[in-house]
Amino acid sequence: MDENAIHQWLIQCFGPVQGEAAWAQFSQLPEEVRDQILSQGAAGLPKPEEVQSLVKAFSAGGLNTAGDVERTIEKGPVNTDLAKSIAASTIASEGAEGTVTADEAQTAREAISASGLWLDAVSDFNPAPGETQVLTRDGWLENTIEAWAQFAAPVVQSMNDALSSVFSERFGDSFESQVSGMFAGPVPIPIPENLKDPGTLMKLLGNTSFSMQLGQAAGKLAKEIRGSYDQGIALQSNPAGALIPQNIDEYATSLELDVDEVMGFLALREQAYARLYASVPWLMPRFEALIGKYARGITIDLDAMEDQLRDATDMNPESIAGAVNLTNVAASDTPEQKEALHSLADMLALVEGWVDCVVWRAGMAHIPHIEQLREMIRRERAVGGPAEQTFESLIGLELRPKRLREASQIWERLTVEGGQELRDSKWNHPDMLPSLPSEQVDDTAATSPDSGASSQADMGYATKSTIDWDAELSNLLEQGDTGQAGSERGGDQDDSGDGQDKPSDDSSGNDADPGTK
């Protein structure tokens, strides 16, 4: 390997200006050191992208001084600026980012207007305030990345603390002497003094590695998402929701259906969610409390994390990615976490079941292929796409309703027996929500459309939970208002009681018949 190759490598790593500065430093090294580096060849040098990822770790928050490092760490365990940057790059790499054309915007607004009228006839809930947005993929990303970061923050904090502990205590002094130069190629990269402390360095690397993974997952999900409520929860600050025409066009093409019809169906779903969340002020705080309760209970298997770190080829964000992935390092769920997951799954099923029921009633006379579209959505939500599954591995929980069919049938049955007034009144208080059949209930009897009068499990009130909701919501409020979508806290939250928290068999209902109309 000659000096020209080293020169070019430095340019690739650091860019033309800083690369030339690094080349000047290399030229001043003792001749024997330069010869030793040249004799190693290209195989002895880290890849330029690895060096660039390290530079991102140090520069994303302006890490030029020890104070800069401390402020970055204190801002939170997720670097949202870095996550946004990575996500934008991922969106660009997945294909050209579309703009919302005038025709697409017109089609979306017409669908939004029509679906609002259809919903007026089948639901007692008023439209959400504001106007449904028409967004690009980048627009969706900008509006939702903070929400994902907030959900992930307790998980990432636990991982970063564990990384620091494992690195400082278990690897001991064998690494400490190498910290300041462990990322050095032919020219050591200058780092703030306090990053030479292994614990601080690992916290920053954990922050960076997770943020990069989060950004990559968000960028991929941005290509799949078609509306802001696609995960079943409120993620953006606009309560009226949003549609992403570029993705809707591609979805309609994949189904070989008319884009206007698909747009109408998805606009109907988006507005149904928006009306529900706007009319039920305790709903999103309940989801936040459940997600927070689960995330705060996550513990890290330090032995598993140590194994992941030992397998890392380098101490950089990409190499330690396995150590900040809960699939690899999370300890088993506690009983409290399992209860929170059951409650979360049932709440998601009740929300999506209500939307499924209302959308069918509102659109059956207007959308020719509504049954096909309805079934596609059900299957997608039950299985989850690749990007959705990546998010789950990062934040540690599934945001997928596995009992959607059962929930939809319960809401349909309530509508038949008491009209939309009875059905929608069940959202007045969490204690009034219908219960999904418990795992002891025979699925055939519980879900059969011909089973006659509703069972007590179908129609009864939710069972009492051991979760202290007042304590959970108080904890949530104490964390401060971060601007998370749907986090307006009002209504009945101070006496929210005990919602639908009965443990469920997550595997049931996946293959049930599509449900009554």
Contact in structure between 10 and 23 (CB atoms under 8 Å): yes
The answer to whether residue 25 scores a pLDDT higher than 90 is no
Q: What are the tens digits of pLDDT across the range 335-387? A: 998 898 889 989 999 999 999 999 999 999 999 999 999 999 988 888 877 77
Q: Which residues pair with 300 in a beta bridge?
A: 330
Burial 110-121 (b: 16+ CB within 10 A, else e): ebbebbbebbee
Q: How far apart are CA 7 and CA 453, in angstroms?
A: 80
CB atoms within 10 A of CB 347: 24
Interhelix angle 80-93/137-165, nearest 10 degrees: 130
- Beta strand 133-134 pairing with 242-243: parallel
Interhelix angle 386-395/198-224, nearest 10 degrees: 150
Q: Which of 372, 458, 374, 376 is nearest to 412 (CA)?
A: 458
Structure tokens at 170: 């278990």
Q: How far apart are CA 276 and CA 261, in angstroms?
A: 23
Q: How far apart are CA 435 and CA 332, in angstroms?
A: 27
Contact in structure between 137 and 222 (CB atoms under 8 Å): yes
Q: Which residues, in sequence order, are CB contacts of 383 under 8 Å at separation 6+?
A: 400
Q: What are the tens digits of pLDDT across the range 435-468? A: 998 754 333 333 333 333 333 333 333 333 444 4
The mean pLDDT value of the chain amounts to: 75
Distances (CA, A) of 159 to 44, 163, 324: 31, 6, 6
pTM for this structure? 0.71
Q: How far apart are CA 480 and CA 472, in angstroms?
A: 14
Residue entry with tokens 């290399």: 26
Contact in structure between 138 and 65 (CB atoms under 8 Å): no
- The string of DSSP codes covering 328-384 is HHBPPPPHHHHHHHHHHHHHHHHHHHHHHHHHHHHHTTT-TTHHHHHHHHHHHHHH-
Helix or strand holding residue 457 (H, E): helix 456-459
Q: What are the tens digits of pLDDT across the range 87-129? A: 888 888 766 566 888 898 999 999 999 999 999 999 999 999 9
The answer to whether the Cα torsion of 78, 82, 86, 92 is positive or negative is: positive
The answer to whether residue 514 scores a pLDDT higher than 70 is no
pLDDT of residue 76: 66
Q: Which of 176, 160, 189, 147 is nearest to 74 (CA)?
A: 160
Q: How far apart are CA 103 and CA 131, in angstroms?
A: 18
By three-state DSSP, how is residue 133 classified? strand
pLDDT of residue 133: 94
The answer to whether residue 500 scores a pLDDT higher than 50 is no
The answer to whether residue 267 scores a pLDDT higher than 90 is yes
